[in-house]
Chain A
Amino acid sequence: MDNDGFLLSLELLTKLRERANREAQIYIRRHILARRTNTEGINSTLSSMDSPIPSAPIFPIMSVQSYACSVTHTKEDTTKVFSNVDENENSILINHVPNDIDDIDFLTPVEEQALIRFYCSKIFSLIGPHAQISRLQKDSKVASTAAILVRRFFLSNSVMMYDPKAIMVAAVFLASKVEDATVDVRFFTFLSVVSIIFSFSFIFICVDDYYNTYRYDYSKREHKP
């Protein structure tokens, strides 16, 4: 058990999440700083013109991190990568991030976990044996694959970097493909989380009508548990 890269201890789990959180904070701080200097520069040159300030540059995509909880990584690898990054980060934090961007209230790792917990708990009502939409009623293993995909993704990445809801829906879609129970991606788009949280019945009626207009006969391919 100790040599398996895909099993972690609780401490390592917490450490990884704290690391992802810290990395996202540094990233966001840096780009806010870059944007501030950009805007100031534009302001000084274009101050006489009435044209609106060009919209701030879109955040360049930070490469997706993946080093934790994987079969090809041993536990030592995970720990090693983790400790290296840890040292680098501290130096970055001290050298490159000035102190005047302290007004941003970042999420704590615990708060991130609360969000992930919430979205993970909605997976079973999105897809699973008791899904709210009959076309999405699949075997439990699809939902559990989706849940573990989300969990593993957010071990290395932060909620502040990637939209947890989009990742959750994508995980469900991907899990349906992985577990050989593919559903059309359109089934997920109208299934907003609002319908799950607040259960407005009229939304379900709209959603059902929408689905009925499609003539795909998924029922023949439906996986019977």
Chain B
Amino acid sequence: MNAPVSISDILNAEIQLIEGVNFELLYFHPYNSVMAFTEDLRTFLKSEIGSTLISFINTTDENNPDHHDHHRILTGDDLRPMHDEARRIIDDAVVSDVPLLASPGQIGLASLMVANETLLEAKQSQASIQFHKYIQHRFASDRKDHDIVNLLTQIDHVCSMLRLLKDGKFGCGNHAEDLEELKKIHKKLKACRAWGGGPSIEGGKKKKRKRDEPRG
């Protein structure tokens, strides 16, 4: 686990890797869709329909903390915290299994929804956006009703996956790491791997000699 990787190892592994991914190297990531959705929200929420979907929780009014101010006009900076939080969520999502389960656009939109929720819970943002209605308005023109319902359930599913990433679900290892457990697994791997000399087939003598060899 500790040894550096030599150049020849990297180059060999690279060829295997290219073959193993079926020579398809073009990938799309949710980062762009987060940016695009934020831009679109910024313009859409200023429009006549869009302005009803956003409400500002007035935190300065201590007597009535749940007072919603519908008349404030959205500024560009209102969406910035949500965008940044969404990018942080995506940093977790891209190293997990989520990109294999959902398309980049869905992950981007879902991360914005989760970011909006978490920021409201942490009281770091005042803008509360009704994403479901936003999706309905935005995608209603070219789809049928049941498609929209499908889309909403899909997005909600992606949202629930993204919320679990913090707990290390779906293969996200950014937050918690059990090194002891990993060392055990790595030790076990040494006895049953095909690379790096392969598993030892005989007793102690051979094993000892193998252990003395530098790992590369």
Point out residues on A near B: beta carbons under 8 Å.
1, 4, 6-10, 13, 24, 27-28, 31-32, 35-36, 39, 56, 58-59, 62, 64-67, 69-73, 104-107, 111, 113-118, 120-121, 123-124, 140-141, 143-145, 147-149, 151-153, 155-157, 159-163, 165-167, 169-171, 173-174, 178, 185-186, 188-194, 197-198
Contacts of A66 in B (CB 8 A): 19-22
Are A151 and B100 touching (Cβ within 8 A)? yes
User: Beyond A120-B171, A170-B13, is A159–B22 a contact (Cβ under 8 Å)?
Assistant: no
Residue of B nearest to A166 (CB): B13
Are A114 and B95 touching (Cβ within 8 A)? no
B177 beta carbon closer than 8 Å to chain A:
yes
User: Beyond A118-B182, A120-B173, is A162–B13 a contact (Cβ under 8 Å)?
Assistant: yes
Are A189 and B4 touching (Cβ within 8 A)? yes
User: Beyond A13-B97, A13-B100, is A169–B25 a contact (Cβ under 8 Å)?
Assistant: no
Are B195 and A163 touching (Cβ within 8 A)? yes
Contacts of A62 in B (CB 8 A): 194
**Which of B20, B90, B186, B189 has the most CB atoms of chain A within a 10 A radius of its CB?**
B20
Q: Which of B49-57, B131-139, B196-204 contacts A (4 or more CB under 8 A)?
A: B196-204
Contacts of A117 in B (CB 8 A): 168, 171-173
Contacts of B186 in A (CB 8 A): 115
Contacts of A69 in B (CB 8 A): 100
- Which secondary structure dominates chain A's binding surface? helix
Are A152 and B21 touching (Cβ within 8 A)? yes
Point out residues on B near A: beta carbons under 8 Å.
1-7, 9-14, 16-22, 24-27, 29, 31, 87, 90-91, 94-97, 99-103, 154, 168, 171-174, 177, 179, 181-182, 185-186, 188-189, 191-196, 198-199, 201-202
Residue of A nearest to B184 (CB): A111
**Which of A27, A56, A71 has the most CB atoms of chain B within a 10 A radius of its CB?**
A56
Contacts of A106 in B (CB 8 A): 192
Q: Which 7 A-B pairs have the closest CB atoms?
A: A121-B173, A192-B4, A144-B94, A170-B13, A194-B2, A166-B13, A170-B14
Contacts of A104 in B (CB 8 A): 191-192, 199
Are B21 and A72 touching (Cβ within 8 A)? no
Are A174 and B173 touching (Cβ within 8 A)? no
Are B95 and A107 touching (Cβ within 8 A)? no
CB distance from B98 to the nearest CB of A (A): 10
Contact of A70 among B16, B24, B189 (CB under 8 A): B24
